[in-house]
Structure 1
Amino acid sequence: NGSPFAAIGVTGLTTLAVRFIKLGISLERIQPGKPQQNGRHERFHLTMLPLAMAPEVDHAAQQAVFDAFRQNYNAERPHEALAMDVPADHYRPSLRRLPDRLPEPDYPAEAAVRRVRSSGEIKWNGDLVYVAAALAGEVVAIEESEAGIWTLRFHAHPLGIIDKKTKRLVRPSALQPRPAGAGADTGLQGGEL
């Protein structure tokens, strides 16, 4: 839930999260204040903490330290979670290739499509509705349910519902992201850095 992965606001989106969505990667969030739900990630931060506590004097020197850390972490240091193997022993490149161009969203013909303005807003029924600054320039879809509820989404990712009274985007509990471990395909292998 920390930056650069999540932001404050109804959508919780950052520019990195937007890129992930465009690549078809599902976002998963842990409950606020529950780092134990993401123990492997938190343990990695603890391992990397000494690098953050004593940064190098310039970018080149810092990159050299990161490169040495990556080599040690992935190819030399055994991991208890991997039966004392190193991550390099288990790594397999993804069969999916990174696309040359990020795909455009495929919205149904009945959806109202809006481009998010540089201010993070869309025009809807004569009003400006704030969505997210991270989505500036992107195209979102508004779909009306049979009950007359306007749901906003970006690619397959639900963003919220436009409240008819307040003309604001709200995030009902039904649209909350799935809890961590619910099966999103990130293309990364465990222990990979």
Structure 2
Amino acid sequence: MTETTKLGVSRRGVLGAFAATLVVAAPTYSNAFGLLRGAGDIRRVRMYSGRTGESLDTIYWIEGEYIPEVVKEINHFMRDWRSNDTIKMDLRTIDIMAAAHSLMDVSEPYMLLSGYRSPATNAMLRSKSGGVARNSLHMKGQAADLRLKSRSVGQMAKAAEACASGGVGRYSRSNFVHMDCGPVRHWGG
């Protein structure tokens, strides 16, 4: 439900205008991982999905606060596209994605290959590939598989690993990087 003022301006519209002003006024992020430590004033995520044709370019965190309406949009965007099921994505994963993106200093959005996976989707993928974990963090909304055209798997993985905040998997043959908010670890080549 959207709250609208007498002038016809919604709360979301006001937040969007405020966020846009911050983007213009905010200094460029330094190449440090202060975002997860509370040093960033804003956090932004940019993604598109080749599976659904959807795009997302949004500020989801301002001055220490997640924006609930935007978080809901992220949850929907990162849904299991096969079943259309959604889950509350773990915001630590979104923070890792945003911080790694900032460290790479790119404007290109991530291509989201996989966000949330329902247990049925995970089981189906597991039956077709040995690289899918039985208890995948994707099923908990704690992982994302991502690709960038302008950066190599190695560059993406190094940026995610610099965050030291979760798991990073390199899938060079398939040209994507797995990022999650589980224990700090890395694998692949």
TM-score (norm. length: structure 1): 0.22
TM-score (norm. length: structure 2): 0.23
Greater share of residues in helix: 2
- Larger RCO, structures 1/2 (Cα 8 Å, 6+ apart): 1
